[in-house]
Structure 1
Amino acid sequence: MDKNGQSVQVEHHTEYNPRMIETKWQAFWQEHRSFEPVSIDTQKPKKYILSMFPYPSGAIHMGHVRNYCIGDALARHYRKNNFNVLHPMGWDAFGMPAENAAIKHKTHPKTWTYANIDTMRKELQSLGLSFSREREFATSDAIYTRFEQEFFIKMWEKGLIYRKEAYLNWCPKDQTVLANEQVIEGKCWRCDTPVVQKQMFQYYIKITDYADELLEDLESLEGHWPTQVITMQKNWIGRSRGLNFRFELDSHTKEQLDHQITHLEVFTTRADTIYGATYCAIAPEHPIVQKICEKGILESDVLSAIKAMQNSSIKERALSEKSGVPLNLFVIHPLTQERLPIWVANFVLMDYGSGAVMSVPAYDERDFEFAKKYHLPIKLVLATPEMQGMDSYRIDNDLQKAIIHEGAMIGGRFNGLIGDEAREQVIKYFEEQQWGEGVINYRLRDWGVSRQRYWGAPIPMVHCEECGIVPEKIENLPIVLPEDVNIDGEGNPLDKHPAWKQCLCPKCGKPAQRESDTMDTFVQSSWYFLRYSTPPSLWEKQAFDEASLRYWLNVDEYIGGIEHAILHLLYARFFTKVLRDLGYIHIDEPFANLLTQGMVLKNGAKMSKSKGNVVDPNSLVAQYGADTARLFVLFAAPPTRELEWNDSAVEGSFRFLKRLWDRSMYILPDFAQSDASALIDSQTCSLNKEEKEARKKVYEALQKSHEIFSKKQSGYAFNTLIAASMEAFNALSKQDNPRVWSEGYYILLHILEPIVPHICWELSERYFMCKNFQSIPVDKTALESQSVVYAITINGKKRAEVEMTLDLDQGQILENARASVAKWLKDANIKKEIVVPFKLVNFVI
């Protein structure tokens, strides 16, 4: 339309061609380094936007698309608001899948990994994601390993790393230790091989030294992290105060154990229930079990049951039915002098406390389930509602479920005490008798980081016959992997490479051997976000640049899946605190804000090849373009909710972009202004109803954009912003004023640029001579309504709605209201007329 409202075709208007447009702008952004941050710019506020980096498996999936589009929308928004934005990308590149692929495809893990990185980098670029290309790295890069090994050595020297022998989850096929979380239904998460328990040496990092700080600092994240994630971390750390004490073994049991073991140490958080203990349960790996098995006095069925428990993973034990076997051994209750039987139970873990528990079935669901199964006594010792009027304990094997609420202790020296007071008095008495002590215990265990595999960061330790285990010299780092290895899936290839393994002791200079274990890949992902802050020009010289750290940290927005709520996020928080204490960095917490995006589903299930419901992002981009893919994943659901795939919704997203493109031909040719709204202000008073409504819808969308990105509306609800933009676009299309159309179009491109950047950059360049998106202020006058809709009721029942201008007096309002409901008022006696300004008119008849 021209200035007179006549249609005008802009001569360079063409059909919407996503491939051409997106290729053009992706090349432009790369050529002009559009997304590289200024290392330090004190004239601008900074934003560090980070999405969790991917494992280079070979191809991106829709979960990647959703994660990175959320982060990209934030990064683009802050750039146009004049922030200095760090928005990096890298690759979590070490891990067993590369070794498995090497065996399958007869290639080298390094070759497979870096080829996948090249492929996935191109796939991510095709989405127009505004990542810093210059700060990209892979965790398998030697220069990254060099500083990781330095951290390991510093932690060893500080006493934060130790080596000990323990029972571990072992995959016989992959020939490596597995974390508890990597055991799925008793099988290896990678190859489905049944997992066994194997006693072997392992390096551990003392994360438990930081348990209190990790727990207490969660308070600073309240309101910034999802409540669910904070709760999961609190439960995982699991701090509890209780009583650690000793049960003496009876004389018969001591004889059976050749008097080498004289007591059983246990921990309980419920010292107030101590009179209710009816048996003790110990882990299958407990020294008592080892000793009794060595003596060969157990029945074959008992021995077989114990072996089965020992070969079950910790996770499998937690999920399976409670089971156990008696040992015909006994302990003496310190208060009652009763003999309590010792059972081996699958629910007791050797690495939690002492590997033994006092079992009180009346007040513990797990102990209750076990006691019911094996017909063990259930003793009631607290005056709970179930025990009204009882003044002494009693056995009640008919109890239907464990009692979870508290009650006063019955009988004995602690009679009448309840809750915390009772527990503290029992602890005090045991300390006076030197039977035990009050302690703080944690569910959290030290972090085992040894992995018996090739494709990982070598642990920088050396085994010397003279000096023992000593760290490599810092100046000799990095210790890199040998590339001339045979990956056959049998054992650790590093153990079979003498030229690499043989070395000189860093301490005495004599022949020694390198440690062949490599680090858990969670180590690499526990500090990568810190590395991004340092300019690449300094990467060879130092782990971090102090000035850059102080400028960029913390990460302002961290985006990733809820599945990383415990391990990755906990380890990253821990590593941050350790590196602070080692003098590398200055912050306590790495991630100021956390967004956990929901999964992408199809047909109600998570996308997976096994379910046959995978949608290939490359095919989606090839058919519809990157902007359609981006629009769909941000429009289909709020970021934190699950997203159900919908083919028709994808088509709808494409149609909207095509309409946006096609109707650009009606933009006024002379409307190339950086402040488009200035052309409307002088005409505002003369706009008609449709024109004012269109401007209102546009500015409502703009205001929503400001609110969503500033978190005045929670959760970055891009779906509501897109809906508001579509509504504004439809309102613009219903009016005929070319200046209102052009102004609204200009503003919508600015609103939508973080979501669909390619089409917005192209149209802005074509029609507004603009290659730089900036924030636009909201025109408050456009949001002001000139009229209001009144509800017209008779005796409180709604009969009509009437739109009236704001300048009417009460008499005019009543006159319009009566006219709208005249047929109901005919011959009626109106007793009262009630006007609620700007809301309703009620006639009482």
Structure 2
Amino acid sequence: MGEVYKPEEIEIKWQRIWEEKGVFRVKEDPDKPKYYVLEMFPYPSGRIHMGHVRNYTIGDVIARYKKMRGFNVLHPMGWDAFGLPAENAALKHGVHPADWTYDNIDYMRRQLRRLGFSYDWSREFATCDHEYYRHEQRFFIEMLERGLAYRKKTLVNWCPSCHTVLANEQVEDGACWRCGTEVVQREMEGWFFRITAYAEELLRDLEKLQGKWPEKVLVMQRNWIGKSEGAEIEFEVDGLPEKITVFTTRPDTLYGVTFVSLSPEHPLAERLAERAGIKEELLAFREKARRARREIEEGLAEKEGLFLEAYAIHPLTGEKVPIYAANFVLMEYGTGAVMAVPAHDQRDFEFARKYGLPIKVVINPEDAELDPETMEAAYEEPGVMVNSGPFTGLPSEEGKRAIVEHLEKIGVGRKKVSYRLRDWGVSRQRYWGCPIPVVYCERCGVVPEKLENLPVKLPLNAQIDEAGRSPLPKLESFLKTECPRCGGPARRETDTFDTFVESSWYFARFACPDAKEPLVSEKVHYWLPVDQYIGGIEHAILHLLYARFFTKVLRDLGYLHLDEPFEKLLTQGMVIKEPYKCPRHGWLYPEEVSESGTCLKEGCGERVIVGRPEKMSKSKCNVVDPDEMIKRYGADTVRLFMLFAAPPERDLEWSDQGIEGAFRFLKRLYHLVSEWSEKIREVEPYSGDGNDLPSELKALRRKTHQTIRKVTQDLEERLHFNTAIAAIMELVNHLEDTLKKASPEAPGFYEVLKETLRAIVLLLSPMTPHICEELWEKLGEKGLVAETEWPEWSEEVAREEEITVVVQVNGKVRDQLRVPAGTPEERVRELALSSSKVKRHLEGKTIRKVVFVPGRLINFVAN
């Protein structure tokens, strides 16, 4: 029996050697091309899960491969340590968030080290370290000076469970992105980043990412930014000096306006209601709309309105049209006011029908005439303008331009570009976050902290109450301070930053994590942008949009030199597994289910229901513990299975049989190399022209060079790790078959064997680095695999001696030819036409066309 494969022993050995030799520590080297690969850093939630393992394994393969290709590779790791996840978990376990966070970091770091990832751990930081967030506070103050940060009172999304404000992007289907509690609307003061100042650039620069980022992500960002081109139009209010400004993408329908809708939150709505003596009705209507916000945004709520007993003056006809507060008009979109054209907007159509308001057709289809009395739905398509004064008869697209020009000429409107994107609310009413570095002084107002006084440290002696409310507003040692401007008494801001602020610039800090200044120009200039960024599709809007915005801000503040932070983006799929459910005991862990599919809990014996594979979650018990898998099979096996089971962008279905298969393959390879290592340790790999080799060894060399080519292309061009691994497995199978047939006495036997085994180890090393280092040593090679050059292939050696060419007649296969590789078309045609099978199908027909695909097929088109 051969040598036993002991993964734990081997893996710990090589992890120690990598650490001692500082193999993955890097610094700037202008003589080498750089490559920066980064996986989205984790929340220190307690333990890594299989999704983490997949994400980080993908990044590690890329980092190791690029290092072997001669790149100076930066591959760092840190911790996204502030925010609600850590705070809520700490509350649940009755410990301080700082203790919870740092204990988790220690545990998760050990887990990541055990998996053998090639991180430069000297660059590690946690975003809750004050030496990190002091620079973030500086950025905020500089943004404040430039008007890119500001404070205002506004209607916000409030999570009653988390006791904090949420940005629009953090509300998913009307609920808190973190805890799932239904979000309510509140009016509060808070701090905002003026991301809208970069809306056009954020949209335009998506073109730079075309073909480098998944199209789905680009579409999601375009939609979120939501550029609309149209017009702003002013409606006077009858009897008042105020004007209502509306934004519309359909100025061609202006003559069809029969009423104006205001958001219940619109300041004018309250003034009009007060004038009409219906303020209480408006407030009740507003509150009802707030409660139904989720259904309204999803288009599920019934459209309701309140007549404000006031009229707007149509800017072109002078006609008076009623003003309504409408529950479907949202204050934060557009201007909070809408010109209602029931004939040509379905929402307005339904509202008009409900409240008996006029419907006026001003756009007809080219081949029909609409009757407002019999219309069953709004006509929203382009057409020909009617009932539109001097613009009647114009095509509607032309009418848009003509009407806007006329509005500008008479001073009641203008061409306008609008965006769905809203400014980023960054105030959070929670404790575990970066303090916002401003104070409130009765004499000076809002005053930023002096740069030399940074960081404003989060007091770690504060205790959160059981409900999760922040202790900062009541912590006098933090709250009371001196005004940086006048020296008088002042109070500190007690809101903290949204945790997405920390993750919006961390990738740049990895270039210079120990620097006293925020970012060191020559270091960030060398390393940025990130060449390959890897993370989940769930961050397509939140994190990625904010990181792009922050990069542009830091560029304009003079810290960065680039427009976009991430050159390429890979969004990996989830790790999924089928859940098991017992009718009596509910969700079961896999070990609680018998091989025959019955519940093992308390001797139950009930037949277990097996669900469809879905994302692993503790709530459904369909989780697989990475520590357990590493203990049973070793890190290399876990890595190999995660890479082999599916392409990286697809969901990966966990399979116990699959990980067993990966383990068997590594054991096979280990035994194979161990069996032959003593005989080939001192042998040099084959380097001849191959003429002296028997056919079996020639074929093995050809397969070896073909595999090097295939794996290189899969990693370099497509990141298809699964097909790369499959190719290596095929080569191992081919080698084992050759060893059964070829004689060790044959010329070149040991040299070709050494060449093949050496190639297998090198090709597999980015995926399973520990076993490959061990096998490299067994083969008698010097140095580390991690520091060895990637193997090259010879096209001459890889070329097939004979290939199969498919012969078709009118697209149907009629024969196959074996011909020498590179055979010209004329010879292939001659051989094909001499085939009796082909002759039979061409008999009595005339060949009209010949399609020839070199190396693959020839097709005769005949009739």
Give the TM-score, by structure 1 length.
Answer: 0.89
Give 2:789's aligned residue.
774
Q: Do the aligned partners of residues 522 and 312 (structure 1) sit closer, same or farther apart at CA in structure 2, a change above 3 Å counting? A: farther
Alignment-mate amino acid for residue 789 of structure 2: Q
Q: Do the aligned partners of residues 759 and 46 (structure 1) sit closer, same or farther apart at CA in structure 2, a change above 3 Å counting? A: same
Give 2:616's aligned residue.
607
Q: Is the 8 A contact 1:378 1:397 kept in 2?
A: no
- Calculate the aligned-residue CA RMSD, in Å: 3.4
From 635, 638, 641, give the equivalent of 1:632: 641
**Unaligned residue ranges in structure 2 (runs of 5+):** 579-612, 743-748
Give 2:746's aligned residue.
none
Q: Do the aligned partners of residues 320 and 611 (structure 1) sit closer, same or farther apart at CA in structure 2, a change above 3 Å counting? A: farther
Matches within 5 A, 1:93-108: 93-108=81-96
Q: Do the aligned partners of residues 628 and 410 (structure 1) sit closer, same or farther apart at CA in structure 2, a change above 3 Å counting? A: farther
**Per-residue Cα deviation, 1:656-675 (whole angstroms, up to 9, x for no partner):** 11111121134353534797
Q: Is the 8 A contact 1:272 1:418 kept in 2?
A: no
State how far apart, in whole Å, the 2-side matches of 1:668 and 1:747 are: 14
State how far apart, in whole Å, the 2-side matches of 1:614 and 1:637 are: 18
Matches within 5 A, 1:287-306: 287-291=267-271, 297-298=277-278, 304-306=284-286
State how far apart, in whole Å, the 2-side matches of 1:157 and 1:35 are: 40
Give 2:12's aligned residue.
23
From 409, 427, 430, give the equivalent of 1:453: 430
Alignment-mate amino acid for residue 754 of structure 1: P
Deviates more, 1:297-306 or 1:571-580: 297-306
Alignment-mate amino acid for residue 439 of structure 1: K
State how far apart, in whole Å, the 2-side matches of 1:180 and 1:775 are: 47
From 686, 693, 701, give the equivalent of 2:693: 686
Give 2:524's aligned residue.
549
From 574, 578, 597, give the equivalent of 2:549: 574
State how far apart, in whole Å, the 1-side matches of 2:830 and 2:684 are: 44
Alignment pair present for 1:146 and 2:149? no
Alignment pair present for 1:379 and 2:388? no
Deviates more, 1:438-447 or 1:83-92: 438-447
After TM superposition, give the deviation of residue 306 of structure 1 in Å. 2.8
After TM superposition, give the deviation of residue 417 of structure 1 in Å. 2.7
What SS is found at the alignment partner of 2:376? coil
Give 2:410's aligned residue.
433
State how far apart, in whole Å, the 1-side matches of 2:851 and 2:302 are: 70
Deviates more, 1:741-750 or 1:831-840: 831-840
From 680, 688, 708, give the equivalent of 2:714: 708
Alignment-mate amino acid for residue 303 of structure 2: S
Q: Is the 8 A contact 1:697 1:724 kept in 2?
A: no
Q: Do the aligned partners of residues 412 and 734 (structure 1) sit closer, same or farther apart at CA in structure 2, a change above 3 Å counting? A: same
Q: Do the aligned partners of residues 468 and 477 (structure 1) sit closer, same or farther apart at CA in structure 2, a change above 3 Å counting? A: same
Deviates more, 1:41-50 or 1:288-297: 288-297
From 565, 588, 591, give the equivalent of 1:590: 565
Matches within 5 A, 1:494-573: 494-534=472-512, 536=514, 538=515, 541-573=516-548
Q: Do the aligned partners of residues 410 and 719 (structure 1) sit closer, same or farther apart at CA in structure 2, a change above 3 Å counting? A: farther
Alignment pair present for 1:731 and 2:734? yes
Q: Is the 8 A contact 1:409 1:418 kept in 2?
A: no
What SS is found at the alignment partner of 1:734? helix
From 469, 476, 481, give the equivalent of 1:491: 469
Matches within 5 A, 1:278-427: 278-291=258-271, 297-298=277-278, 304-313=284-293, 317-318=297-298, 320-329=300-309, 330-371=311-352, 376-385=357-366, 388=368, 390=369, 394-400=371-377, 402-408=379-385, 410-427=387-404
From 741, 754, 771, give the equivalent of 2:753: 741
Give 1:254's aligned residue.
none
State how far apart, in whole Å, the 2-side matches of 1:101 and 1:374 are: 50
State how far apart, in whole Å, the 1-side matches of 2:836 and 2:60 are: 54
Matches within 5 A, 1:797-816: 801=816, 803=818
Q: Is the 8 A contact 1:810 1:835 kept in 2?
A: no
State how far apart, in whole Å, the 2-side matches of 1:431 and 1:807 are: 70
Deviates more, 1:612-621 or 1:784-793: 784-793
Q: Is the 8 A contact 1:368 1:402 kept in 2?
A: no
Q: Do the aligned partners of residues 534 and 811 (structure 1) sit closer, same or farther apart at CA in structure 2, a change above 3 Å counting? A: closer
Alignment-mate amino acid for residue 655 of structure 1: R
What SS is found at the alignment partner of 1:34? coil
Alignment-mate amino acid for residue 407 of structure 2: F
State how far apart, in whole Å, the 2-side matches of 1:797 and 1:454 are: 71
Structure having greater relative contact order (Cα 8 Å, sep ≥ 6): 1
Alignment-mate amino acid for residue 763 of structure 2: I
After TM superposition, give the deviation of residue 371 of structure 1 in Å. 4.3
Residue identity (%): 47
Q: Do the aligned partners of residues 814 and 673 (structure 1) sit closer, same or farther apart at CA in structure 2, a change above 3 Å counting? A: farther
Deviates more, 1:307-316 or 1:16-25: 307-316
Give 1:228's aligned residue.
216
Matches within 5 A, 1:659-678: 659-667=668-676, 669=678, 671-672=680-681, 676-678=685-687
State how far apart, in whole Å, the 2-side matches of 1:796 and 1:205 are: 61
After TM superposition, give the deviation of residue 819 of structure 1 in Å. 12
Alignment pair present for 1:265 and 2:280? no
Q: Do the aligned partners of residues 225 and 832 (structure 1) sit closer, same or farther apart at CA in structure 2, a change above 3 Å counting? A: closer
Q: Is the 8 A contact 1:52 1:558 kept in 2?
A: yes
**Unaligned residue ranges in structure 1 (runs of 5+):** 1-8, 252-258
State how far apart, in whole Å, the 1-side matches of 2:631 and 2:447 are: 55
What SS is found at the alignment partner of 1:769? coil
Alignment-mate amino acid for residue 734 of structure 1: D
State how far apart, in whole Å, the 2-side matches of 1:429 and 1:814 are: 70
Q: Do the aligned partners of residues 104 and 643 (structure 1) sit closer, same or farther apart at CA in structure 2, a change above 3 Å counting? A: same
State how far apart, in whole Å, the 2-side matches of 1:532 and 1:98 are: 22
Q: Do the aligned partners of residues 811 and 514 (structure 1) sit closer, same or farther apart at CA in structure 2, a change above 3 Å counting? A: closer
What SS is found at the alignment partner of 2:36? strand
Alignment pair present for 1:75 and 2:63? yes
State how far apart, in whole Å, the 1-side matches of 2:159 and 2:809 are: 77
Q: Is the 8 A contact 1:183 1:313 kept in 2?
A: no
Q: Do the aligned partners of residues 814 and 397 (structure 1) sit closer, same or farther apart at CA in structure 2, a change above 3 Å counting? A: closer
State how far apart, in whole Å, the 2-side matches of 1:44 and 1:467 are: 53
Q: Is the 8 A contact 2:43 2:85 kept in 1?
A: no
State how far apart, in whole Å, the 2-side matches of 1:809 and 1:142 are: 70
What SS is found at the alignment partner of 1:27? helix
What SS is found at the alignment partner of 1:43? coil
After TM superposition, give the deviation of residue 173 of structure 1 in Å. 3.3
Deviates more, 1:219-228 or 1:736-745: 736-745
Q: Do the aligned partners of residues 236 and 812 (structure 1) sit closer, same or farther apart at CA in structure 2, a change above 3 Å counting? A: closer
Give 1:720's aligned residue.
723
Alignment pair present for 1:57 and 2:45? yes
Alignment-mate amino acid for residue 24 of structure 1: K
**Per-residue Cα deviation, 1:167-225 (whole angstroms, up to 9, x for no partner):** 11112333211122333444434444443211111111111111122122222212222
Alignment-mate amino acid for residue 547 of structure 1: E
After TM superposition, give the deviation of residue 813 of structure 1 in Å. 9.9
Alignment pair present for 1:111 and 2:91? no
Give 2:229's aligned residue.
241
Alignment-mate amino acid for residue 247 of structure 2: F
Deviates more, 1:503-512 or 1:185-194: 185-194
